[in-house]
Amino acid sequence: MTGTIFDIQRFSVHDGPGIRTTVFMKGCPLRCVWCHNPEGLSSEIQLSFSERKCLNCGLCGKRENISDAEKCPAEALCVCGREIDEDELFDEIKKDGMFYGPDGGVTFSGGECLLQADFVSSVIKKAKAHGFSSAIDTSGCVPWQSIEKTLEYCDVYLYDVKCADPIIHRQFTGVDNRLILENLKMLSRTGKRIWIRTPVIPGFNDTLEEITAVAEIVSSLHSVEQVTLMPYHSYGSDKYAALGMQYKYNASAKVPDEKIKTFKNIFKKRNITVI
Ligand code: SF4
């Protein structure tokens, strides 16, 4: 079986327990205005072009085909994404095996990796058989059946709860959060380890009301081990132009440290571990 990925990051320490190899899968059902991985949005293999790196040598012709990227001497024209066979990917994962220790392993991220649930399930099955831990970083915006396919092999789910209000959620991500929250409840009932991740985005969810509502959702669940608040950053904004896309969020927006501290206290008061 093959899957479509756009990156493999080695020695990740923010994508689950321990040291991990993170595999970024292509395709996402959400369109979060602040997204810092725009290359994960489309499930198609794309060309990215950096005007800054371009030598204007003309070797790439019209820059229309994937094969044009091979002609570029300056890495200005690149292919974003590739199909990979499950065995080939697992061979890549195994190369890092000696660094995982008792907690580390592989994390599937994206995009939304569960849009390719059969592929992910197949690779984490191999990981489990090999004694590696597996984590899945998901928006939860997929049919429950897609999550279910991974339950037997996944050790920990990194689950995004972006905001509680369905209207605001739709406004900023393109979808409402009903399915996401229903899936989260179901996942919690299975007893699987869950790490909640909440981006803190100015103008979207950076209010006491919204963060309190997220904390209330977390309080109602059974198997959440921790919550990570992730303050907005604009690191991925440059990638949009290279992909012929427009970054629609305000890249200069900042979340003051004081505000994050206040938001963390909302979780601490409910005895929720927050990072
Ligand atoms: S081959 Fe690369 S460096 Fe030359 S014109 Fe095309 S994109 Fe620019």
Domain membership flag for residue 184: yes
Q: What is the CATH number of the domain that holds 218?
A: 3.20.20.70
pTM for the model stands at 0.96
Q: What is the pLDDT along the chain (275 residues), one digit of tens a residue?
A: 999 999 999 999 999 999 999 999 999 999 999 999 999 999 999 999 999 999 999 999 999 999 999 999 999 999 999 999 999 999 999 999 999 999 999 999 999 999 999 999 999 999 999 999 999 999 999 999 999 999 999 999 999 999 999 999 999 999 999 999 999 999 999 999 999 999 999 999 999 999 999 999 999 999 999 999 999 998 888 899 999 999 999 889 999 999 999 999 999 999 999 99
Ligand 1 pocket member 54 (CB < 6 A):
yes
Ligand 1 pocket member 77 (CB < 6 A):
yes
Ligand 1 pocket member 72 (CB < 6 A):
yes
Q: What are phi and psi of 70, to 5 degrees?
A: -65, -25
β-bridge mates for residue 135, sequence order: 107, 156
Integer CA distances (angstroms), 154 to 107, 126, 136, 147, 149, in order: 9, 11, 7, 10, 10
Domain membership flag for residue 73: no
Q: Structural domain tally of the chain?
A: 1
Integer CA distances (angstroms), 176 to 40, 162, 232, in order: 20, 11, 21
Measured CA to CA, the distance from residue 175 to residue 97 in angstroms comes to 37
Torsion of CA 101, 102, 104, 108, to 10 degrees: 140
User: Residue 197 belongs to what domain range?
Assistant: 2-45+81-268
Domain membership flag for residue 55: no
Residue 146's nearest CA partner among 126, 120, 127, 165 is 120
Tell me the torsion sign for CA atoms 154, 82, 174, 211.
positive
Domain membership flag for residue 105: yes
User: Which ranges constitute the DSSP H helices of 98-250?
Assistant: 117-129, 144-148, 166-173, 178-189, 208-219, 237-242
Domain membership flag for residue 60: no
In the chain, % helix, strand, coil (3-state, to 5) comes to 35, 25, 45
Q: What does the block give as tokens for 243?
A: 């992909």
Q: How far from chain centre, in Å, is Cα 63? A: 29
Domain membership flag for residue 70: no
CB distance 28 to 142 below 8 Å: no
Ligand 1: atom nearest CA of 75 is: 2
Locate the DSSP E strands across the chain: 2-12, 20-25, 46-49, 77-80, 82-85, 105-109, 133-138, 156-160, 193-200, 224-231
Ligand 1: atom nearest CA of 49 is: 7
Ligand 1: atom nearest CA of 55 is: 3
The position carrying tokens 């003309």 is: 58
Predicted local distance difference test score (pLDDT) of residue 92: 98
Ligand 1 pocket member 76 (CB < 6 A):
yes
Domain membership flag for residue 52: no
Predicted local distance difference test score (pLDDT) of residue 251: 85
Burial 172-204 (b: 16+ CB within 10 A, else e): bbebbbebbbebbeebbeeebbbbbbbbbbbeb
Domain membership flag for residue 75: no
Predicted local distance difference test score (pLDDT) of residue 236: 86
